[in-house]
Amino acid sequence: MLCDHCGKAKLKAQTKPYHYTECGLLGVFLRNVQWSECPACHARAATLPRAGQLHRYIAWRVVTKSTMLTGEEIVFLRKMLRKNQKQLAELLGLSQVVLNRWETGARNGHASANDSRIRFVYLTMRKDEYTRRMNPKVWEMLHRMFGKVDRKAEPIRLRIDPADCAPAEPASAEIGRFMESRGFSPILRSEHINS
Ligand SMILES: [Zn+2]
């Protein structure tokens, strides 16, 4: 097949892993992928099977890695959430200018607390075969506690009987009801009571 790009040479099939720069991350290489390169202009053509799943998997590996996210990785996660900079900035409660700085790696990047926040937003908003591998109880708890936090600051309003403040009882009943409403067995209730 003649090169689409320059038309000067035939594409040559390659056996090396495919450096998947198109995903925006510079360290991703795909093995066992059919791809070819033009010897003249070095344009490449690749066939990626299951591209959607591949992207979700890359995102999962990014969000669970043990070092700080890079700017490119923040961009990747944001795109997987199908948010533009303005929308993700709003979710994180910061200005678009600040998020842009993190994404482009200007200044010294983001602090580790914000690193966790980005991952948290991803994990609570993204529902796929990888994020679901988290223990469903943990996932539901996280989502319930923080997934829908209103950005508006408002003083908490509570009516409390000091006699009802023991940790096990009220929490387990409430969480147990929630879990049952989501189809989880009420095991958690007894776990809470025992703890
Ligand atoms: Zn070419």
pLDDT tens-digit series, residues 45-102: 999 888 889 999 999 889 888 888 889 999 999 999 999 999 999 988 889 999 999 9
Does residue 185 lie in a domain region? yes
Instruction: Tell me, yes or no, whether 18 lies in a domain.
Output: no
Domain extent, residue 113, equals 52-193
Distance 36 CA to ligand 1 centre (A): 11
**27: CA distance to ligand 1 center in Å?**
24
Q: How large is the C-alpha radius of gyration of the chain?
A: 23
Residue 2 included in any domain: no
What is the token pair recorded at 50? 């299951």
Q: How many domains are there within the chain?
A: 1
Contact 1, 13 (CB under 8 A): no
Question: Residue 53 CB: number of other CB atoms within 10 A?
Answer: 12
Report the pLDDT averaged over residues 28-43.
93
Please check whether residue 78 lies inside any domain of the structure: yes
- Which residues hold their Cβ within 5 A of ligand 1, which is an ion? 3, 5-6, 38, 40-41, 43
State the CATH number of the domain containing residue 68: 1.10.260.40
- Tell me whether residue 25 is in a domain: no
Determine the distance separating the centroid of ligand 1 and the alpha carbon of 33, expressed in angstroms: 20
Which tokens in the block code for residue 142? Answer: 């996280």
| H helix or E strand, kind and range, residue 35 | strand 34-37
Task: Select from 29, 107, 126, 117 the least CA-distant residue to 74.
Answer: 117
For residue 43, the CA-to-ligand 1 centroid distance in Å is 5
Please report which confidence band the pLDDT of residue 145 belongs to, taking 50, 70 and 90 as the band edges: low
Within its chain, how far is the Cα of 107 from the centroid? 24
In the predicted structure, residue 25 carries a pLDDT above the cut 70: yes
Distance CA 29, CA 38 (A): 19
Mean residue pLDDT across the chain? 80
Strand, coil or helix: 42: coil
Average pLDDT over residues 119-146: 77
Q: How many angstroms separate the alpha carbon of residue 185 from the centre of ligand 1?
A: 59
The pTM (predicted TM-score) of the whole model is 0.70
Query: Residue 186 pLDDT more than 90?
Result: no
> Average pLDDT of 153-162?
73
Q: Please tell me the distance between residue 17's alpha carbon and the centre of ligand 1 in angstroms.
A: 20
